[in-house]
Amino acid sequence: MTSAISTKAVSVRRGLACSLAALALLTAATAAPRTARAGANGEVNIYSYREPKLMEPLLRAFTAKTGISANMIFAGSGLVERMAAEGRNSPADVLLTNEFGLLAQAVDAGVTQGVASPELESGIPAKFRDPAGHWFGLTKRARVVYASKDRVKQTAITYEDLADPKWKGKICIRSGQHTYNVSLIASMIAHLGLEKATVWLTGLKANLARKPSGGDREAVRDVAAGQCDIAIGNTYYMVAMQNNPDQKAWADAVRIIFPDNEGRGTHMNVSGASVAAFAPNKANAIALIAYLASPDAQQLYASANGEYPVREGVAVSPQIAAWGTPKPDPLPLADIAKLRKSASELVDKVRFDQGPNS
């Protein structure tokens, strides 16, 4: 059987002009051949922020299992904007995202629809899916502390501890406005209230070794170089660094500590999927998401990117198991999503990205 997967990769810049240009390009690329590619059981059209190398093995397995052809377009940005511009004419059935902020953005943009699926509701814990069925988490990642093996002896920490003056000049982190940190800060507002969260974020800012910049891996790099003692990052970057010969020394210099693992639990974010608002193949869209939430697919999906399965009872990879077992924060992501705007505003209010001495 020949492959039923059609994958196109594009780069879409933010901004209206570029988004519309990308819309014209992508619509022309996908409109004509859709019917020709459909299998015996039809097709499903996927707009994906997740890279083809991760998704293609899963989509091949899905097609082999169901007979449904999978057509995927990948872009690093702009897909939510594209869906909004296409409106009712969008061919999209499923939106796949690599982080929760894009799921929240898609819902706010009105490009998703709520679906009821007993299979999804039984397979995905309630705290990792939208109560109205607009999005479903598929893999988890924890927002953790990467601690220097040489300079940090403690093995337990809380997020609140990051504001302790003992860490002054010792913490590295990326921009507070990055979606990973917005989600963490929103969770702190949910747990502490806005007033105490403001005090906490101000204290964290005072403890930074430098202005927030770069990505999570660069923060770990700076720990390895001695510029800071701890970095805040997502867990899957450890696998990425361990598997990269140029970055393995960074990974070897640190160990992962799960904040609040002995208390309320570590903040978990998700990658996930939504059914498009005007999905022409809605049933196939639900079938695809249900497949990605199935036990076999969960193990492959999570292992391929160094993440945790969202489905309970699915084993993690040996690399991930070596870090220990995180206790997830029980706060539903839907509750955190409601506070993302307040979290972003708080980052600006305390001038977090201006650095520790601003």
Q: Report the percentage of the chain scoring pLDDT > 70.
A: 89
The whole-angstrom separation of Cα 223 and Cα 241 is 14
Check if the beta carbon of residue 269 is closer than 8 Å to that of residue 135. Answer: no
pLDDT band with cut points at 50, 70 and 90 for residue 8: low
pLDDT for 34 equals 37
Residue 331 lies in domain: 142-267+323-354
- H or E element, residue 276: strand 268-276
In terms of domains, do 91 and 47 share one?
A: yes
In terms of domains, do 219 and 309 share one?
A: no
In terms of domains, do 330 and 291 share one?
A: no
Least confident of 158-167, 212-221, 330-339: 330-339
- With 0-12 / 13-18 / 19 or more C-beta atoms within 10 angstroms meaning exposed / middle / buried, residue 122 is exposed
Contacts of 333 (CB under 8 A, 6+ apart): 100, 127, 128, 137, 269, 270
In terms of domains, do 18 and 125 share one?
A: yes
pTM (predicted TM-score): 0.86
- 243 versus 29: the higher-pLDDT residue is 243
Residue whose C-alpha is closest to residue 216's, from 199, 197, 239? 239
DSSP string, 74-124: EESS-HHHHHHHHGGG----EEEESSHHHHHHHHHTT-EE----HHHHHHS
Q: Kindly state the DSSP code that residue 163 receives in the 8-state scheme.
A: G
Convert the pLDDT of each residue in 328-346 to its tens digit. Answer: 999 999 999 999 999 999 9
Check if the beta carbon of residue 207 is closer than 8 Å to that of residue 171. Answer: yes
> 18: domain CATH number?
3.40.190.10
Does the structure show a pLDDT above 50 at 14? no
In terms of domains, do 97 and 237 share one?
A: no
Domain tally, the chain:
2
Residue whose C-alpha is closest to residue 259's, from 223, 234, 227? 234
For residue 252, the Cα-to-chain-centroid distance in whole angstroms is: 24
